[in-house]
A and B are shown apart, each in its own frame.
Chain A
Amino acid sequence: MTKVERDGAFTPPEVEIVEGKRGMEMLVALAFVLSVLASIALAVTFVLGGQPQLEGVLLFIILAGIGVGMVAWGKYLVPQGPYSQEREVLKSEIAERQAFLASLDRGQRQMGRRPFLMKLMGASIGVFGLVNLFPFLRSLGPQPKKALFTTPWKKGALLVDANGSTVTVNTLEVGGMVTVFPSYDVGGAISQTVLIRVANTDITTRPGRETWGPQGYLAYSKLCTHAGCPVGLYQELTQQLLCPCHQSLFDVLTGANPVFGPAPRPLPQLPLYVDSSGYIRAQSGYDEPVGPGFWERGA
């Protein structure tokens, strides 16, 4: 017995081997060789500075070479069976389960003798969690408070475009549109407003807004009342504003009333006036929250 070991003369016993298949061996070998060649080519590409398309193709050859080689080997050059294996029963045998339940029960009863301590332990962990939740959540961001109800627009705010240039009565042609901000919040995400010049002068979009659109200039919040996208497209022909995100359409002449799509409310209108130098200014801020709805908004 030990003799066989020492002189190493014994041969390993037979195992199931897939014989022959010369062509398949060649294919596997070819795949691996191709992969190595592509790796070398990729290294050269990197040295030369790289080229995305070439890198992608070479990576494909490298990875596919390895993949084809391995799959073909595993599929055609080793025994496939099919072999059958018994499926073990998942649930434990009845005795094991009972023993397990007994152990569980033992610990439970040993601890359950002191219910007061149990409750205290639960309380201490719970209170720790709650107390920690507070600084964590609290430092993530400020409370909303009135932030969603207001915008930077104030009485007398001077209208400027995205470059900070002031807007006068001569800035727009009839049918023109420009995105405006108050002069102190250029590019503001909340204060963004569309200024449109329509043909009618001194237009009243709806009752109570008689003075809001001097000389055909109308200003609406650019934030869609649906999901807050910028209402970026103005169709002069139909006098409509379109939100490209979900295709809500707003009718400019009737107070940006939604006429199509998922937007539920009109765009808030900014009351304007033309000052003595011809600059356009806001009579006041918006009279309602801009943008999409939220719980505290009410109506």
Chain B
Amino acid sequence: MGKAELPLHAPGTQVDKGYIGESTPRPNAQRLLQGRGAFTDDLRFPRLAHVAFFRSPYAHARIRKLSLEKARAQPGVVGVFDGRAVAEYCKPWVAVLAHLKGIKSPAQHAIAIERACWQGEACAAVVAESRTQAEDAVQHIEAEWEELPVVVDMEESLSGKRVIHPDLGDNICFKREHDTGGVEEIFAKADVVVEDTFHFGRHTGVCVEGRAILADYNAAEHSLTVYHATQAPHMMQDIFSRHLNIPEGNVRVIAKDVGGSFGIKVHVYADEMATAALSIMLRRPVKFVADRLESFLSDIHAREHRARVRLACTKAGEILAFDLDDLTAIGPYSVYPRTSGIEGNQVVNLTGGPYKHQKYRARMHVVFTNKNVTCQYRAVGHPIAVALTEGIVDLAAQKIGIDPADFRRKNLISDDAYPYTFPSGIKFEKLSHHKALDLLLRITNYAGLRAEQSRLRQQKIYRGIGLAAMIEVTNPSPAFYGVGGARISAQDGATLRLEPTGMVTVMCSVTEQGQGTEGIFAQIAASAVGVSIDKVRVITGDTGVTPYGGGTWASRGAGIGGEAVLLAGRALRANMLDVAAKMLSLDKAELDVRDNHVINRLTGEAKLPLAELGRVAYFRPDTLPIDFQSELTVTRHYTPRQYGFTFTNGIQASLVEVDPDTGFVKLLKHWCVEDSGTVINPMLVDEQIRGGVVQGIGAALYEECLYGPDGQLLNGNMADYLVPMAGEMPDIVCAHIETPTLQSQLGAKGVGEAGTAGAPAAVMNAINDALAPLGARVTRMPFTPERILQALKKV
């Protein structure tokens, strides 16, 4: 069932897909365009106090003594607190999950007690009447430190020479081994074996809006309202409740406009927990907004992997096996509550993912270091797995002497092989690798690009074309977190209410961070109910208002929240028709709703405006039969359960030109073909893919959190940490295959992470393709001019 056949209205009627598939502009963009959004830092409260944190200047040090008295005496200071004081109000946490067997991590406090384990860890809090005063007073905190040995390098951490948390015995947070068996034998006998080691820089999300939280404790009610730049309000409600000892019903989390998140704003941050605790301690609202320097030191970082991968294949180019050894470092703590074991776990699950081979072995270690923590950031594990897979696949194609596109065509899982179980154990419902490859080759004019590349090489212009096929986790079931004991909902819900005026209000538990959630929910609701989109209002991001749900992460908003909206919309329409049938004394089966009117479903004749239906239902129900009660508010929920994840697939291509004299890479063009099932709004999907591609390009070319041997972050500001800007970015062409998931009626799969998953691999392969005639090859991201010149042996 494709979107064209989507039966939004009763079978037998004229099929009407409404707004689904239309590039409708987002209604909620208007306020943002006029600077009239409401980001957390824009809110104004009476008696609002501001917190600033005293952060460890050392990567690993014992706090011998903290002198807070001078700070307490500074102008405007309301209170100064150390870790012990805050711990009285906020229970520590341990970020482990039962389904990640053996994962371990020490307890983490809102404010460090006795010891700081990374540079930037909060060790004391100053609350003052203004942020300026709080920051001024922080400078008057005096600390005596005893520096401790620092573990910065992940290989050193794995060796266990120095153990960061002696109680844990070693530096290994989590390890996993997977083996189908038979891998050694295949590698021993294979015609062709290729091997390489890839390095992935540690980078971070750089949301333009820093993390922000405003906690407002009401002592009279023992209630806490938290205005929070978060992706997961209900998850945070549960966490504030349990760790601050407030009944869950007394905790309300409100996420108003959120200035980008990308996974950064879905975790528990110690300084944010401290802010909420301080509001309770001081019995007044307290706000914390991470400034940019704090963001670099304390927003989760991500990636930082070293992975060795081997591929065995036949002379004819049939891939037989993959063998992986991945090492990743996560800082001193696993991050609560999702843990920092997931990224490595995903690398094991996904490596080799698009291909037909049956033998696979993987070994993966997650180790502690004295750097900032890492956790799930957009496309979690995928950029690593895709780059490892596609990097080694290109190397094999090169060794055999076969075109990379032909090599992929030989090995991609056939489009008719589904459902399919991959050797890592993951299951695919239905993918379209071959259709996607064919479409990509067509829109890139691949043969033409190759011809132009050869021609330009004669002129010593080095262009490269890189391909990256990918699979992606979307619409996760409870298998992702719930089964491991995390209180994170895999289910989402939507409430739809017909207002007396004929308007429809939608309340949904999936949140909006700019990806267009509210826009597509309006499209789905309008289509399902039968109203024009200007009649729909959408409310998200408030635990006091919406149904319970997971929020926004793992490319789940459209596929899960959208399905809940669709189901609720259909139910509301049915209930509206019950009312109309009574009002019109007609059989409900003769009626439908279209263009804000109840209509005759066969003739299309308008019978009753919805405003009139609403007026009667709410204000003159006395005119309806005595035994009839209208129900014009309905709620429906949806949880994907048939598959652990609803996998999507796609393929990207990058065209670059490398200057062998300067090492600079010029991005000429980028293409992405994606199969995300039913596309609800092509315009939103395309620019979200482009944004993801650009973040992936950042990983490939620019972004890296650089640490010195003492664990000091060397480039923790926007001037030194480079992100992609408009001037360097190419035009990005998007195209779609639509293979709707049959698990839901909407058929939508996720798309938010696709671009980020595949772009680093595509760019890497393009650079290596350009460098191939020069005998050079790069495998350490980001591919800075310096690293390219090193590969060319010019520096």
Report whether chain A binds chain B: no
A interface with B by C-beta (< 8 Å): none
